[in-house]
Amino acid sequence: MKEHRVGIIMNGVTGRMGTNQHLIRSICAIRNEGGLQVSPDEVIMPDPILVGRNENKLQKLAEMTGITNYTTDLNKCLADDQYQIYFDSQTTNLRAEGVRKAIAAKKAIYCEKPTSADLATAVALYEEATAAGLKNGVVQDKLWLPGLLKLQDLIKTGFFGEILSVRGEFGYWVYEGENEPLQRPSWNYRKDEGGGIIIDMLCHWRYMIDNIFGKVKSISNLGATHVRTRWDENGQPYEADTDDSAYSTMELENGVIVHINSSWCVRPRRDDLLVLQVDGTRGSAYAGLRKCLVQPRQVTPREVWNPDVDRTKNLYEDWMEVPETRNYDNAFKIQWELFLRHVVLDEPFRWNLLEGAKGVQLAELALASWAERRWLDIPSIG
């Protein structure tokens, strides 16, 4: 068996997403499976080193995962030829510096989004990596969620006919931190540390919309800071100075209208933390993270609105669940495997740093739309 060992510098993996999704459920999972099998006699084996600023956190993470290599010295790792890939899941305001160091060290780049807090830097990172001849990619995990994969299958088969609109709801109640433990780090609500739900989630919505429904043409966005006072990890109160909710309407080049509400200040009464309803001339679908339900035109009931009479029919009754016809792996792991194949086997990988920059562009224009209280067109980049 031929083994391609791939050294990976994993910077910032002591954070929630870095630990759970990227390290444990992706890289460790691939290693535990004996590597990524790419042919009957060929396997790719990721060999990570954990990098961060807090040695105690790194040590605990190493003990928990069995990944024995860790360090606080990023520069030393970058100078080591045994590491071919640099991965970054630090906070947004630290990402560009880490990626630029990795570009100078001639590493392949794979990083979380947003790739930067501003479009100019995000585009520059793509241009610098490309000019250096480096393979590069950005995490766009939601494309491989089971619910959205089922939705994509429906689109490919023509189930919807002409798609008319997409309605999305995302979010949950994030504890303020006064009486209950935080679910999200306090920097999410501090502007100078790269916080804000618009820069966080609009990057997701851009790649999700572009890849599934059509290219975004224009946006109208209203943001809000609904909860002004929060408490940090040390129990100290502080004033949240960036957005915790966004109400975004987008027009696509194909005429589809997309509206998505994103909020950390909502108590969901829906099927999942993210749900999308897609309405078409021949049918509709309602997708969450894992499940997808449909209502074809043939079984669409004739509704009559009468607010003076209690409903006797449940609106959920005429929806059917899309069956699971395959095994669905972790979405982050699937994209990691694609990027590893890209680096080792030179297979195509279209989710590069330019795609990440498009997400930053949408977030930046959403913030501008809110400030200027008007629709804004999406210029072409790259």
Question: For the segment 34-59, what is each residue's pLDDT rounded down to a tens digit?
Answer: 999 999 999 999 999 999 999 999 99
The pairing of strands 83-88 and 70-71 is unpaired
Which pLDDT belongs to residue 333?
98
Alpha helices, DSSP H, located in 239-330: none
Which pLDDT belongs to residue 341?
98
Instruction: Pick the closest to residue 11 from 81, 100, 133 (CA basis).
Output: 100
Average pLDDT over residues 307-316: 89
pLDDT tens-place string over residues 320-364: 999 998 999 999 999 999 999 999 999 999 999 999 999 999 999
Average pLDDT over residues 136-159: 98
Distance CA 364, CA 342 (A): 30
Cross-strand bridge partners of residue 157 = none
The residue whose two tokens read 């003076």 is: 308
Share of the chain above pLDDT 90, in %: 94
pLDDT tens-place string over residues 366-375: 999 999 999 9
DSSP symbols for 118-162: SHHHHHHHHHHHHHTT--EEE--GGGG-HHHHHHHHHHHTTTTSS
Helix or strand or coil: residue 251?
strand
Distance CA 174, CA 252 (A): 31
Average pLDDT over residues 149-171: 98
Contacts of 348 (CB under 8 A, 6+ apart): 342
Which pLDDT belongs to residue 312?
86
pLDDT tens-place string over residues 64-110: 999 999 999 999 999 999 999 999 999 999 999 999 999 999 999 99
141 confidence band (pLDDT: 50, 70, 90): very high
Average pLDDT over residues 12-25: 94
Q: What is the 3-state secondary structure (H, E, C) of 205-232?
A: HHHHHHHHCCCEEEEEEEEECCCCEEEC
371-374: Cβ within 8 A, 24+ apart: 374/220
Domains and CATH numbers, the chain: 2-141+331-352 (3.40.50.720), 142-326+361-376 (3.30.360.10)
Average pLDDT over residues 236-263: 98
Sign of CA dihedral 175, 181, 183, 186: positive
Contacts of 355 (CB under 8 A, 6+ apart): 138, 140, 207, 210
What are φ and ψ of residue 250, in 5° steps? -130, 140
Which pLDDT belongs to residue 41?
95
The pairing of strands 274-280 and 257-263 is unpaired
Which pLDDT belongs to residue 382?
73
The residue whose two tokens read 């079984």 is: 299
Which pLDDT belongs to residue 171?
98
Which tokens in the block code for residue 174?
A: 């994030």
Distance CA 362, CA 380 (A): 11
Residue 305 confidence (pLDDT) above 90: no
